[in-house]
Amino acid sequence: MDLTIKETYNRPFIFIPKTILWIIKQRDLEKDNDNLIGINSSIILNLTSLVESFNKELMISWIKNHISKSEPEPELEDDEMPNWDMSMSEYLLERLTDELILEIESSEWNKQLNLFIKITNMPINHIIEKETLYGMNQLFKYRNILTHGNKLSLIEWNYDNKTSERLEPNKFEGIFTFLKQQNLVSGKLKDVKSNIFELTFSNEVIDYFIKIINKYLDEVKKSFEMSIEINRTLFELKI
């Protein structure tokens, strides 16, 4: 009995760029602030899905390409049958490769950065520029606010005529620092917007993230030496 198994698949990064561009066109016609927050929140989720699915396909394509280069099929004479017996080294390579691919398939952003290092044997700062990585980490902090239903609070202190403020939970304090560093907000948060989500999910913030992602895609594709021959869809991906 012959059994043939064929897998055909797609990943979100293939269709998300068009979706995001369509959403932005609708967003630019919207005037209601609550609707704008919701629209920009949905763009954040689409962007992070694009990045994580891109990373998975990138690593798996890179692995398969290197394996195919390192193990060329032996040339056979016209009347010679291939030897299907697998050596122990081939078996181990195949098994380890399958396990690595499974690990990639179940990975998320932070794990994927570690896998980049593991697969390429390069430090992360040789794969992604420092400024780009910083922006990408902020993007995934935004994603975590949304997907885990975290509150984002502005806490103000007034003591001896001195005022200070910070965002809570503390792990999101870096978002305020990030907004200031990128000139997306100046002064104190309380003086800019009354709704903290209106500020942190503004059009300007989302547009910044799109620029950072395009920069990230270029840097990672270059580091992994991605080409049209290896994977055209990955090579041409851009928002």
| Average of per-residue pLDDT across 115-133 | 93
Residue 178: the pLDDT is 83
DSSP state letters, 153-187: EEEEEEETTEEEEEEESGGGHHHHHHHHHTTS--S
Question: Tokens at residue 168, please?
Answer: 């809570």
Residues 44, 209 contacting (CB under 8 angstroms)? yes
- Domain ranges in the chain? 12-70+92-236
Residue 57, pLDDT above cutoff 70? yes
168 - beta bridge partners?
Answer: 153
**Angstrom distance (rounded) from CA 209 to CA 142:** 11
> Which one-letter DSSP state was computed for residue 15?
T
> Which one-letter DSSP state was computed for residue 13?
G
Angle at CA of residue 130, ends 128 and 135, nearest 5°: 90
Residue 127: the pLDDT is 95
**Angstrom distance (rounded) from CA 73 to CA 47:** 40
| Average of per-residue pLDDT across 43-65 | 94
For 150-169, write each residue's pLDDT tens digit. 777 777 777 777 777 777 66
For 195-217, write each residue's pLDDT tens digit. 677 777 889 999 999 999 999 99
**Angstrom distance (rounded) from CA 109 to CA 208:** 19
Look up residue 87 and give its amino acid: S
Residue 70, pLDDT above cutoff 70? no
Look up residue 62 and give its amino acid: W
Residues 202, 192 contacting (CB under 8 angstroms)? no
Which tops the pLDDT comparison, 60 or 95?
60
The answer, as to whether pTM is greater than 0.85, is no
Angle at CA of residue 140, ends 138 and 146, nearest 5°: 115
